[in-house]
Amino acid sequence: MLFKEKEVDFCQKNHIDYDQIEQIFYDNIYFENSDVVLKIPLMSLIKKISNDDIKIEKFDLTKYTYLIHHK
């Protein structure tokens, strides 16, 4: 018997973000259902980035208009 795989929809949006204080560009994965963002560092202008720079934060997408959306 063949089963059709069910696709899971996490209701996520991807954005590029820049932290002016730490001077790091992040690839953000925003999960709409939980208002949580996973911030994955892409590059820094002043330091070498590491796994310690990955962040999980509560996030309200409606407060920010400077983010760049991507897929």
CA distances from 68 to 18, 30, 31 (A): 10, 12, 16
Nearest alpha-carbon partner for 66 in 12, 10, 26: 26
Give the N- to C-terminal CA distance of the chain in Å, as an integer: 35
Query: What does pTM read for this prediction?
Result: 0.72
Q: Can you list the alpha helix ranges (DSSP code H) found in the chain?
A: none
Contact 39, 30 (CB under 8 A): no
pLDDT tens, position by position, 9-59: 678 888 888 888 889 999 999 888 888 999 999 999 898 988 888 999 998
- To 5 degrees, how large is the angle CA 40–CA 15–CA 33? 90
